[in-house]
Amino acid sequence: MATAEVDGEARAKRRAEGLVLAAASVTVALWASSFIAIRSSGEHFGPGALAFGRLAVASVVLGAILLARREGVPPREAWPGIAASGLLWFGAYMVALNWGEREVDAGTASMIVNIGPILMALLGGWLLKEGFPPKLMAGMAVSFAGAVVVGLATSGGGGSSLLGVLLCLLAAVVYAVGVVLQKPTLKHATPLQVTTFGALVGALACLPFVGQFVSEVGRAPASATLQVVYLGVFPTALAFSTWAYAISRSTAGKMGATTYAVPVLVILMSWLFLGEVPARLALFGGLLCLAGVAVSRMRGKAREQVPVDAPEGAAATESGSSTESVR
């Protein structure tokens, strides 16, 4: 009887791990696809208009899920964090990334934005008094060198390419700040509440682009408009849901490591669907950025995060995301 119970528990554990892996895989694939959709639809929609369309669709989908689950409106204590993360991560991040991808290819953009985990660790060391481990500083130096290499590689194509690199760096910065400011909010509200109302705040911040969005929808081909809908439904609403499921059953560290696959998938998808591949020097610089992130994470045994804390990363994350992810 005891043996049967042990076997049953082992099978249940393997099944749970399989579901977590499947959810994480869906999230990573969808986040990677968002870089391709942004690059493609950006030919027909301005950065602000594209951000508004994506956030409007995501707000409707997430709002419907929120109503179905009857989670209601977040308490008053949660609103400062929701407003800050909504303006920075959902609003400013998406506009900066959309603009940046008009100037650089999707693969380069994804590699630059993926330095976000280091920036979050730096902010945590400063704002949360977590300190500045030597490996964190070394990783930052490596990633900074990578960003410089990417900038040098793209600046030869004109000032607009260098502008794209700077915009992607800006996207990484506002994403990191938004996530760090969002973390305390999850003590007062659920991940779904924080994500839904954060997307809504971002959509409201992008209201000045409504007129442009409506005008461009009228001129854009149906395929481009469908890509905007895709961005709102899948990389934003669905990917956040699968991420929340996975991280609630794992640790933020393990889940954050899975996002390192995003740039690789982006480069592959960019080659398959857009016929774009980063220049060799830009690719080398991007790999340096990722190497810096890896170096910063090479620490000794960290304290294991208990499951109840894990959902803090679920609402953060191009989305999205924990403090170790990029979307």
Whether omega before 320 lies within 30 degrees of 0, making that bond cis, reads yes
Please report the pLDDT score of residue 303 as a whole number. Answer: 46
15 pLDDT tier (thresholds 50, 70, 90): confident
129 pLDDT tier (thresholds 50, 70, 90): low
Question: What value does the mean pLDDT of the chain take?
Answer: 78
CB 150 within 8 A of CB 112: yes
Please report the pLDDT score of residue 53 as a whole number. Answer: 97
- Per-residue pLDDT of 167-218, as tens digits, reads 999 998 998 888 777 777 878 888 889 889 999 999 999 999 999 999 999 9
Query: Of 41-45, 238-242, 297-301, which one has max mean pLDDT?
Result: 41-45
Nearest-angstrom CA–CA distance, 299 and 243: 24
Q: Is 129 exposed, middle or buried (0-12, 13-18, 19+ CB in 10 A)?
A: exposed
Please report the pLDDT score of residue 311 as a whole number. Answer: 39
Q: What value does the mean pLDDT take over residues 55-80?
A: 94
Residue 56: CA atoms inside 13 Å, Cβ hemisphere, count? 16
For the chain, how long is the longest CA-to-CA vector? 72
Please report the pLDDT score of residue 253 as a whole number. Answer: 45
Residue 321 phi/psi, 5-degree rounding, is 145, 160
- Per-residue pLDDT of 237-281, as tens digits, reads 888 777 767 755 665 445 555 666 677 778 778 888 888 877 777
Q: What value does the mean pLDDT take over residues 154-172?
A: 75
Rg (CA), the chain: 19
